[in-house]
Amino acid sequence: MIVDMTPEDIIGEYQEATLTYCDGQSRKVLYTELETPYPDGKLIVSTTTPDGIISHVNRAFVEMSGYTEAELIGAPHCILRHPDMPSAAFKDLWDTVQRGEKWQGFVKNLRKDGGYYWVKATVIPNVRGGKVVGYTSVRRKPSRSKVDECIALYPTLS
Amino acid sequence: MSYMFTVSPDFAPDHLSGWYIFNTWLQKQSAEAIHLEMYNHYQDLHQAIAADKIDLIYANPFDAAMLVREKGFLPLVRAQGESDEAIIAVNANSNINDVADLKPNTRVAFTDDPDVRLMGMIMLEPADLHAGNIAPLLSDNHVLVAKHLLKGEADVGIILAEAYDNLSGVIKKQLRILVRSQISVIYHSLMIGPRLQNRRADFQKILLEMDKDEKGGGVLNALGFNAWQRIEDEEMEFMIDLMDTLNT
Ligand SMILES: Cc1cc2nc3c(=O)[nH]c(=O)nc-3n(C[C@H](O)[C@H](O)[C@H](O)COP(=O)(O)O)c2cc1C
């Protein structure tokens, strides 16, 4: 499971929160108000096993998350979960892809250094020979207006 | 029996003679009769694919999913180290400095190359632009996209990065790059259809050794790259999944 975040990794003033994941485990996260802008022209790509363990990341993923590739591979994808994200969003994500459909949504992600970045994510099941062998998420740069809508909406969801 | 080879229209014009030389070389190496048929527009290409006329194709990534899933094609090789990237360009004198500055009804010039258009439209999304709120300007080729920008007839242009880089210095001086994609996992691929598939391994071997062949190296130069690189089935599946996520 993922370990608690530690102050040595954090850049800037931070707050603390304890996240409880859907598998019942919890983690102490430290987060700041520093936003890393989404780089123009890039896609952030990752693939997970059927149970959400990261199995592949591209370079943009490593750069934006602040973790090394070695720290990411084998970790559950909720390593990026930000306390401002409502659980309902991820429940919808999992319900949708487990039905074999495509999910799209705006996600605020937590960096290793406590900062955050917004993405527009599309998640699909990877079907090989009729079987789901994993899931892939491709993120692109979101528009400011869509992010502002989410900033207003997400605190009203649980 | 004679087989039919074709090249996705977006790549054909620049290296037209190269593809004919390549086809001659491939026939000799494989001892198969292969006819190269070029289509000027995607519509004609798609009709030929639907009618099961094609056996070998240098395919746009946009068509790869349909070729694999509906037509039983399998990947052979791709141009080594090359990938499809798109550029959003503006007139050098434009007051637009960031995609986020763009407003609805922006005049966008592009060609009918579907993957470049897809990548370009994704790069315009940060300004909330989409197919429904732009003024599209469909152009016959990438040079004409550039000309629309020079004449002030379009506000932004979507151009295949390789085509942009090959524009003349005079044209490029009057343009400015707003965004260049760095996707690197989307590429054209040479694919083989069901009728020829019993020779897939032979074709792959011939192509992978092409750069070491005395004549082959020169033919590759005429196509604009140095060597072929094998595409594993899973690599192709991954690109298809990726295109699927972008297609919404
Ligand atoms: C392919 C894929 C990519 C995901 N990407 C993210 C992500 O970038 N950030 C995130 O917080 N959760 C992501 N998730 C969702 C997590 O698996 C997890 O559901 C979420 O972080 C919330 O944790 P919880 O479900 O344990 O409560 C992704 C899931 C999948 C299948």
Q: For each of chain A's 158 residues, which pLDDT tens digit applies?
A: 578 999 999 999 999 999 988 788 899 999 999 999 999 999 999 999 999 999 999 999 999 999 999 999 999 999 999 999 999 999 999 999 999 999 999 999 999 999 999 999 999 999 999 999 999 999 999 999 999 999 999 999 97
Q: Taking a contact as any Cβ pair under 8 Å apart, which residues of chain A between 57 and 76 contact chain B?
A: 58, 60
Average confidence (pLDDT) over B223-232: 96
A138 with B238: Cβ contact below 8 A:
no
Please give the backbone phi and psi of residue B207, each rounded to the nearest 5 degrees, phi first.
-70, -40
Containing structural domain, residue A149? 7-156
Q: Assess contact for B187 and B80: CB atoms under 8 A.
A: no
Residue B128, amino acid: D
Q: Give pLDDT, residue B11.
A: 65
Is B208 in CB contact (< 8 Å) with chain A? Answer: no
Domain with residue A56: its CATH number is: 3.30.450.20
Report the atom number in ligand 1 closest to the C-alpha of A136.
1
pLDDT per residue as tens digits for the range B172-214: 999 999 999 999 899 999 999 999 999 999 999 999 999 999 9
Ordered structural domains, chain B, with CATH: 2-82+185-246 (3.40.190.10), 86-180 (3.40.190.10)
pLDDT per residue as tens digits for the range B90-111: 999 999 999 999 999 999 999 9
pLDDT per residue as tens digits for the range A50-87: 999 999 999 999 999 999 999 999 999 999 999 999 99
Is B128 in CB contact (< 8 Å) with chain A? Answer: yes
Average confidence (pLDDT) over B47-55: 97
Q: How many domains does chain A have?
A: 1
Q: Give pLDDT, residue A24.
A: 83
Instruction: Note whether residue A1 is domain-resident.
Output: no
Check whether B241 has a pLDDT greater than 60.
Answer: yes
Dist. CA B196 → ligand 1 center (Å): 43
Rounded Cα distance between B44 and B21, Å, is 23
Q: Does the ipTM exceed 0.95?
A: no
